[in-house]
Amino acid sequence: MSKKDLIDAIARHAELSKEKAGAAVDAMVSYIESTLSKGEEVSIPPLGKFKVSKRAARTGRNPSTGQEIKIPAANVPKFQPSKTLRDSINRG
């Protein structure tokens, strides 16, 4: 599903214009980004949690040359689905 598909679905289900649904999606994404950039987590109970995980610096290999490279430490966004979401997907 693309962002456009999501906006269309929200507009249809919530009986909103596509412009208002697009603004709502953009606002949600912006809020999640700003909250994660502060190191906080965002919990949406029926969906799951967005959180930041710290990845340590490590040594990797360039796949084309085989040369060792240093990969710097980074903060990585992660999503942890809720039990409700996992159960609804597995019910099929």
CA 3, 8, 14, 20 dihedral sign is positive
Q: State residue 92's pLDDT score.
A: 64
Asked if residues 47 and 85 have their Cβ atoms less than 8 Å apart, the reply is yes
User: Terminal CA-to-CA distance of the chain, rounded, Å?
Assistant: 18
Reported as a single tens digit per residue, the pLDDT across 15-65 is 999 999 999 999 999 999 999 999 999 999 999 999 999 999 999 999 999
User: Domain 3-91 classified CATH 3.90.550.10?
Assistant: no
- Between the alpha carbon of residue 49 and those of residues 21, 32, 73, the distances in Å are 22, 10, 23
- Going from N- to C-terminal start, the domains of the chain cover 3-91
**Tokens matching residue 85:** 């979401």
- Tokens read off for 40: 């906080």
